[in-house]
Amino acid sequence: MCDMSNLDSLDILAVGAHPDDVEVHVGGILAKAVKRGLRAAILDLTVGGLGTRGTAELRQAEALEAAKILGVERHFLDLPDARFTEGEDERIALMKAFRSLRPLVVVLPAFEDHHPDHRKAHRLGREAAYYSGLKNYPCPLEPWRPPTVAWVGGINPAAPPDIVIDVSEVWQQRMAAFDAFGSQFASEPDKPKTRIAHPAFRAGIEGRAMHWGSLILKSHAEGLWCEKPIPEGLLRLWSLLNKEGI
């Protein structure tokens, strides 16, 4: 796990169950946040060592390269891929990360998703975000409850996003970060066939972003979901990232 001690508050922290999860959904939001002068980071719960393609070492190296392209920090919690539970050890590990990084906005995986790890990561993240603010919870570090929690919509969200953020100006950058995960997304005939390595998967990511962009008359946008009413912190982030001419 990367050292997360003695750090100032983050503006936005995106949590993924595996390396590449964040880049699939909100790479553009993170890249644009950095461009606007915000401090952004990714926290991967696992290094994806049980995936069909690639190794844990390769996926971690790809993740660090993707973070470099986006301009964000990256941390790894080193939970066991596919085998992590929603127990106390995992909850404490994530609470410690929240208390150390002190994010103002946390973006979690989708609560409805085909991948069980994504669903578990969402539930674990929601619990840890709340409990990390309890002074008497037996967890190291000073209490910190992230003021704003949002989440991505999964590959085929059932409802439209609650907010959409224009990412047109960083689209090529965010897709370069996505493409850094060649072990997962490159269509190579000598590698095992997977759904996410099919060219249609990459095309679907752009198609979705183009659709959401069309709703706000932009070329590309990314969406976030949240509890209602929309938290003030998420509205502030939306306002800052959607401003033009900064």
Q: Does 87 map to a domain? A: yes
Residue 1 lies in a domain: no
User: Quick check: 109 and 17 in contact, CB under 8 A?
Assistant: yes
Residue 3 lies in a domain: no
- Within a domain: 153: yes
Locate 189 and state its tokens: 């005939």
In a domain, 138, yes or no: yes
Q: Note the pLDDT of residue 245.
A: 52
Give me the pLDDT at residue 7, please. 53
In a domain? residue 218: yes
Q: Is 6 within the bounds of a domain?
A: no
Residue 1 has what pLDDT? Answer: 45
Confidence (pLDDT) at 161: 97
CATH of residue 131's domain is: 3.40.50.10320
Name the residue range of residue 75's domain.
12-242
243 Cβ neighbours under 8 A, 6+ residues apart: none
Beta strands in the chain (DSSP E): 12-16, 40-44, 73-76, 105-108, 148-151, 163-166, 221-224
Number of domains in the chain: 1
* pLDDT for residue 2: 47
User: Does 64 map to a domain?
Assistant: yes
pLDDT reported for residue 139:
96
- The parts of the chain modelled with pLDDT lower than 70 are 1-7, 245-246
Per-residue pLDDT tens digits for 94-145: 999 999 999 999 999 999 999 999 999 999 999 999 999 999 999 999 999 9
